[in-house]
Structure 1
Amino acid sequence: MPEYGYFLSCEQFGPAELIEQARMAEQAGFQALWISDHYHPWNDEQGQSPFVWSVIGALSQAVSLPIETAVTCPTVRIHPAVVAQAAATSAVMTGGRFRLGVGSGEALNEHVVGGAWPPARVRLEMLEEAIEVMRRLFTGEQVTHHGTHYTVENARLYTVPDEPVPIDVSGFGPVATDLAARVGDGYITMIPDASMVERYRSGGGGTKPVSGGTKVCYDTDPEAAVRTVHRLWANELLPGELGQVLPSPKHFEQAQTLVTEDMVRENRVCGDDVDAHVAELKRFADAGFDRVYVNQIGPDLRGFFDFYRTKVLPQLP
């Protein structure tokens, strides 16, 4: 039976709003939290981008739910030795309720420090080496590392949790999924594809947790919900690798003019049809996911949490 969690969006909400949403999620019966890690929003309409590690510190004191980044890129913008310190402190502050979700990142967030944006093959190499560095640091022992992409000199984390922070790896294609199976403590993907779950499990993932997430727009007016999604999150319907290579919110705004409201209607749950919301989350359960996270796009957060507390979550397995 999957656990159902709430997905906090740092691209759309400021720190105080995220903390309040986390409290409402816990009260509504959600069992865990995801939180995104971005330097930029995808577009200016979303309008926010708080530093995720500060928000996690506040969340650790505001709620008792498990928390996971979905996902952090520990390769370009922030050196993996620093991400390891942030993750270890988060695990200590949450009493071991923190998991580190990692991925190969997007140019949107990572190129801001001025380096070239590597091709996908190199980004996955960097991610694998970064995971190795972070795992060694989580032991609390002194680490010196001279690798292909990273150097660490005489580094030691003094504040570490009793158990090493679990590292879940995001993957959307076969190569990244195979990496997750080989080196991850769990697998993250946004696509409820049973074949990819099977690939992960048979490739070495075994019974480790598989987590997925989706976005919906609760609104008593379905057409208003469609317009809201089209205005705020049309970027999610862009094809191919655009999400990984476009460098700024302005570029996403230009590209998402190709996304129509009809495309939103076909690909996102919009409105207050209970069966549609239940069916969206059951797609992940049916594909073999262990944890499913949902994000509310629209402005009626209190309505969303009441709707899920009373009508949606009670119908889920």
Structure 2
Amino acid sequence: MTVIGFHASHEQIPPSRLLGDVRHAEQAGFQAAMCSDHIEPWSQRQGHSGFAWSWLGAAMATTNLPFGVVSAPGQRYHPAVIAQASATLAEMFPDRFWVALGSGEHMNEHVTGQHWPRKEQRNQRLLECVDVIRRLHAGEEVSHDGLVTVDRARVWSRPASPPPLVVPAVSVETARWGASWADGLATINQPADHLADMLAAYRDAGGRGKTVLQVHLSWAPTEQEAYAIAYDQWRTNVWAPPVPWDLETAGHFDALGDGVSEQQVRGSVLVSSDLGRLTGWIADLVGLGFDEVYLHHVGQDQEPYLDAFGQHVLPQLSGL
């Protein structure tokens, strides 16, 4: 049975309120949660960016939900820091935590003042970081000289079972590449045939572990309001790579977002005031075979959405 989870968007909601939202989500019937890990929002209108690792400790201590986070080692975070942070959460909350490790986005990584590498270099750096993190989770003392440097690092507090390291991917090629090293696959809503191809590529290449889908949606009592929320909050997120990888600031994303069409917004966000229609769209995505589907209402006010979905949508999805 597919797990239906709640996505906690740090870029849009202050961490104190987001903590209340994830508790509300558990009460509404969501079975898991995941969150982003940014230092900069996608838009100045979103206006927030809490530190995910601090928030995760509070969220996991005050709910019973399993959690995941999407992060990027190698520049803003040294891999030893990610290894220690993830090991601590997994030790405190056994079998309730996973982390998706990506190659990063310039908007988050430029704060170090370091050069922004080409994509192939970032992928190689990610592989080095994954190897370092796995070795540290296994209890080794690790030294490494490459695209990242590690000097005699060791993680002393470790869980009995290390947290799964998942590959975040939006292309078939990345899904296939991730199968060689990852403990699972995570992606976002895209056309169904493309998602099916990604799942097939990951499994056919020997990919193991769970598959995770994050679905962006916008619901409100009226169609006009549902679209207005999506346009205001998520029009800067309609661009395919390499655009989201290489832009430097929220201001740059906002400048590109000024010319976005309604068709582009609706191509990235499931927009409707009809809960039955949204339930059907989500059920179709569940039917592709994902193990976990995380719903992200792109509005900043989560309470009406959580109440409506808890009453009308989650019960319909529970048997899928």
TM-score (norm 1): 0.95
TM-superposed deviation, 1:178? 2.0
CA distance in 2, matches of 1:137, 1:291: 28
Q: Does 1:197 align with 2:199?
A: yes
Give the conservation status (yes or no) of the 8 Å contact 2:218–2:298.
yes
**Equivalent residue, structure 1, for 2:73:** 74
* Mapped partners of 1:245, 1:283: distance in 2: 32
Q: Do residues 225 (structure 1) and 226 (structure 2) align?
A: yes
Q: Equivalent pairs: percent with the same residue? A: 35
Which residue of 2 is the match for residue 91 of structure 1? 90
- 1:268 matched to 2:269? The reply is yes
Question: Which deviations, in whole Å up to 9, do the C-alpha atoms of 1:184-230 show, x marking residues without a partner?
Answer: 00001113510110000010114x21101011112102111211211
Q: Once the two structures are superposed, what CA deviation does each residue of 1:81-121 show, in whole Å capped at 9, x if it has no partner?
A: 11111111111222331111111111110111111111111
Give me the whole-angstrom Cα distance separating, in 1, the residues matched to 2:89 and 2:131: 19
Give the corresponding residue for 2:161. 163
Q: Tell me, what secondary structure is at the counterpart of 1:6? A: strand
SS at match of 1:99: strand
Structure 2 Cα separation of the partners of residues 283 and 243 of structure 1: 27
2:294 aligned residue: 293
Specify the alignment match of 2:236 in structure 1.
Answer: 235
Tell me, in whole angstroms, the C-alpha distance in 2 between the residues paired with 1:258 and 1:100: 34
1:142–1:239 Cα change, 3 Å: closer
SS of the residue corresponding to residue 292 of structure 1 reads strand
Give distance in 1, aligned partners of 2:316 and 2:53: 34
Q: Equivalents in 2 of 1:75, 1:186: separation in Å?
A: 20
Please give the alpha-carbon distance, in whole angstroms, between the structure 2 residues aligned to 1:239 and 1:183: 24
Number of the residue aligned with 1:183: 181
Q: Give unpaired runs (5+ residues) of structure 1.
A: none
Q: For the residues of structure 2 that align with 1:266 and 1:79, how far apart are their CA atoms?
A: 35
Q: What CA deviation, in whole Å up to 9, does each residue of 1:250-288 have, x standing for no partner?
A: 100011112123432454223431222112322322222
2:312 aligns to what SS in structure 1?
helix
**Whole-angstrom distance in 2 between the partners of 1:77 and 1:41:** 15
Mapped pair 1:64 → 2:33: no
Taking structure 1 as reference, are residues 284 and 265 closer, same or farther at Cα in structure 2, changes over 3 Å only? closer
For the residue of structure 2 that corresponds to 1:258, the secondary structure is coil
How large is the RMSD of aligned CA atoms in angstroms? 1.5
- Residue identity opposite 1:256 in structure 2: G
User: Could you tell me whether the CA contact under 8 Å between 2:185 and 2:210 is conserved in 1?
Assistant: yes
**Which is further off, 114-123 or 279-288?**
279-288
Q: Name the structure 2 match of 1:278.
A: 279
In 2 relative to 1, CA 240–60 (structure 1 residues): closer, same or farther, beyond 3 Å?
Answer: closer
Looking at structure 2, the residues matched to 315 and 26 of structure 1 have their Cα atoms a distance apart, in angstroms, of 17
* Residues in 2 aligned to 1:220 and 1:154: alpha-carbon distance in whole angstroms: 57
Instruction: Single out whichever of 257-266 and 2-11 deviates more from structure 2.
Output: 257-266
TM norm structure 2: 0.94
Q: Render the CA deviation track for 1:117-151: whole Å, top value 9, x for unaligned.
A: 111111111111110000000012322222x2122
Distance 1:266 1:116 in 2: 33
User: The residue matched to 2:71 in structure 1 has which SS?
Assistant: coil
What SS does structure 2 have at the residue aligned with 1:44?
coil
CA contact (8 A) 1:218 1:300 kept: no
What secondary structure, in the 3-state scheme, does the structure 2 residue paired with 1:182 have? coil
Give ranges in structure 2 of 5+ residues lacking alignment.
Answer: none
Describe the SS at the equivalent of 2:13: coil
Contact 2:34 2:68 in 1 (8 A): yes
- Distance in 2 separating the partners of 1:159 and 1:102: 21
